[in-house]
């Protein structure tokens, strides 16, 4: 039976008012890690615009797992603000999801005042030193995920999205390129997936059954030697077999080495360079084309890869990646997906879901210039509709 875009549906224990969710896109509205009124208003606006659920990105479970010092850290200090955020979203008839993660090798160790942790020691593509996390350290991080999940659930957050993509810590363990360990967390895919499975189990066990648990999983790192679709399918099947998840959101790309694999379209190298400290700008001019290659934009560009996984797992799948028309979203539902995640389309037009629901099916006006990417440091926004702050 064909699913309808604007019918209510069940995501695990949750009832969603339609099939659209706001994807996690770092908001740049948490100076010093604070849950600000501006962050709350950002998600209240998304909820008022019609999405069934909006996702807060990115909530760190550990101080050393923040992307930088301006990342919200789950704990007693952030809980009251997260409760206000949840209340604001609920008042608009939407649900609130939160992305839980540990940045691992993507973390800015200098900003955090802590080492950047990784499966194996080395250097990131931008030259940051990576420190191999010990087994004891991994057990601490698993406990941090559990504690962070409890904090989020107690604050009224409805769904928890475990970040297993973009070469953040869990994703980096899945990557053959980044994981050179010879212990129980390295080598075979079963070993490389051990952390992912342990974290999913810990999060599920730490929250009430009324809270949904989902995963954002890389299908392809977009990096030679990294995780690819064949192994990603195996990981998805392992996670499904464990029975802890209510949905899989399928993504790709590496924040360490190839972020444009996720975004597609124009590569805003000049704008990104301006966000870097002056000493790093010259180096970026040299490596920028390699770090941010251009991938031509195609609507629903992850669909072919995502279908491979969605058709072989029974856990509901969420399609991400360049959906700009309701007709494309309907086609995704017909092909086995349960939900569609929107990012840039909502940055440009937060009310686009309400517009589509009204019968106006004109596509998003997003040009895929990707100049929204560098704005994450000053408040993520569409520069075409909100050019300055």
The whole-number pLDDT of residue 127 equals 66
Summarize pLDDT for 307-363 with one digit per residue, the tens.
999 999 999 999 999 999 999 999 999 999 999 999 999 999 999 999 999 999 999
Phi, psi of 265, rounded to the nearest 5 degrees: 95, -155
* Biggest CA-to-CA distance, the chain: 58
- Verify cis geometry, omega within 30 degrees of 0, for the bond prior to 58: yes
Residue that is written with structure tokens 């990557």 in the block: 175
Residue that is written with structure tokens 């106006």 in the block: 360
Alpha-carbon distance 244 to 241, whole Å? 8
Start-to-end Cα distance in the chain: 47
Q: Which two tokens stand for residue 318?
A: 């969420």
The whole-number pLDDT of residue 2 equals 57
- Report how far apart, in Å, the C-alpha atoms of 298 and of each of 144, 265, 302 are: 38, 8, 9
Q: Mean pLDDT for the chain?
A: 94
Summarize pLDDT for 150-195 with one digit per residue, the tens.
999 999 999 999 999 999 999 999 999 999 999 999 999 999 999 9
The whole-number pLDDT of residue 286 equals 72
Which segments of the chain have a pLDDT < 50?
A: 1
Give the residue extent of every domain in the chain. 9-377
The whole-number pLDDT of residue 1 equals 43
- Report how far apart, in Å, the C-alpha atoms of 232 and of each of 50, 220, 309, 335 are: 32, 7, 8, 19
Q: Which fold has domain 9-377?
A: TIM Barrel (3.20.20)
**Cα 262 vs. chain centroid, distance in angstroms?**
11
Q: Which two tokens stand for residue 116?
A: 């950047």
∠ CA 148-154-160, nearest 5°, is 55
Is 377 among the residues known to form the active site?
A: no
Considering only CA atoms, which of 336, 334, 324, 333 is closest in space to residue 361? 324
The whole-number pLDDT of residue 279 equals 62
Q: Which two tokens stand for residue 199?
A: 């974290």
User: Which position among 58, 168, 295, 339 bears the catalytic label?
Assistant: 168
Residues with Cβ within 8 Å of 230's Cβ and at least 6 positions away in sequence, in order, are none
Q: How many CA atoms lie within 13 A of 206 on its CB side?
A: 22
Alpha-carbon distance 97 to 55, whole Å? 4
Query: Would you call 277 exposed, middle or buried from its count of C-beta atoms within 10 A (0-12, 13-18, 19+)?
Result: exposed
Reduce the secondary structure of the chain to three states and give it as a string: CCCCCCCCEEECCEEECCCEEECCCCCCCCHHHCCCHHHHHHHHHHHHCCCCEEEEEEEECCHHHCCCCCCCECCCCCHHHHHHHHHHHHHCCCEEEEEEECCHHHCCHHHHCCCEEECCCEECCCCCEEEECCHHHHHHHHHHHHHHHHHHHHCCCCEEEEEECECCHHHHHHCCCCCCCCCCCCCCHHHHCHHHHHHHHHHHHHCCCCCEEEEEEEEECCCCCCCCHHHHHHHHHHHHHHCCCCEEEEEECECCCECHHHHCECCCHHHHHCCCCHHHHHHHHHHHHHHCCCECCCCCCCHHHHHHHHCCCCCCEEECCCCCCHHHHHHHHHCCCCEEEECHHHHHCCCHHHHHHCCCCCCCCCCCCCCCHHHHHCCCCCCCCCCCC
């Amino acid at each position: 039976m064909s699913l309808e875009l604007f019918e209510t549906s069940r995501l695990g224990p949750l009832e969603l008012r339609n099939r659209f969710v706001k994807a996690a896109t770092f908001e740049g509205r948490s100076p010093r890690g604070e849950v600000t009124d501006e962050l709350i208003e950002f998600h209240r606006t998304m909820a008022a615009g019609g999405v069934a659920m909006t996702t807060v990105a990115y909530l760190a479970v550990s101080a050393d797992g923040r992307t930088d010092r301006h990342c919200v850290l789950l704990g007693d200090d952030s809980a009251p603000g997260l409760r206000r955020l949840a209340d604001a979203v609920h008042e608009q008839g939407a649900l609130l999801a939160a992305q839980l993660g540990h940045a691992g090798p993507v973390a800015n160790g200098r900003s955090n005042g802590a080492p950047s942790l990784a499966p194996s020691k080395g250097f990131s593509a931008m030259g940051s030193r990576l420190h191999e996390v010990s087994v004891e350290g991994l057990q601490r991080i698993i406990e941090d995920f559990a504690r962070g999940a409890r904090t989020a659930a107690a604050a009224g957050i409805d769904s928890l999205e475990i970040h297993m993509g973009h070469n953040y810590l869990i994703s980096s363990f899945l990557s053959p390129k980044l994981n050179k360990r010879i212990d129980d967390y390295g080598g075979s895919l079963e070993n490389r997936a051990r952390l992912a499975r342990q974290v999913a189990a810990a999060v599920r066990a730490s929250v009430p059954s009324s809270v949904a648990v989902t995963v954002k999983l890389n299908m392809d790192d977009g990096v030679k030697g990294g995780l690819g679709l064949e192994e990603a399918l195996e990981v998805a099947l392992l996670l499904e077999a464990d029975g802890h998840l209510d949905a899989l959101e399928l993504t790709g790309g590496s924040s360490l080495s190839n972020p444009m694999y996720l975004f597609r379209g124009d590569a805003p190298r000049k704008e990104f360079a301006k966000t870097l400290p002056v000493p790093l700008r010259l180096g970026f001019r040299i490596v920028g084309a390699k770090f941010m290659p251009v991938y031509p934009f195609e609507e629903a560009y992850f669909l072919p890869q995502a279908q491979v996984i969605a058709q072989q797992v029974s856990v509901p799948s969420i399609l991400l990646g360049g959906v700009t028309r309701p007709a494309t979203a309907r086609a995704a539902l017909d092909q086995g997906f349960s939900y569609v995640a929107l990012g840039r389309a909502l940055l440009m037009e937060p009310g686009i879901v309400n517009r589509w629901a009204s019968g106006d099916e004109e596509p998003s006006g997003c040009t895929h210039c990707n100049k929204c990417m560098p704005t994450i440091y000053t408040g993520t926004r569409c520069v075409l509709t909100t050019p300055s702050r």
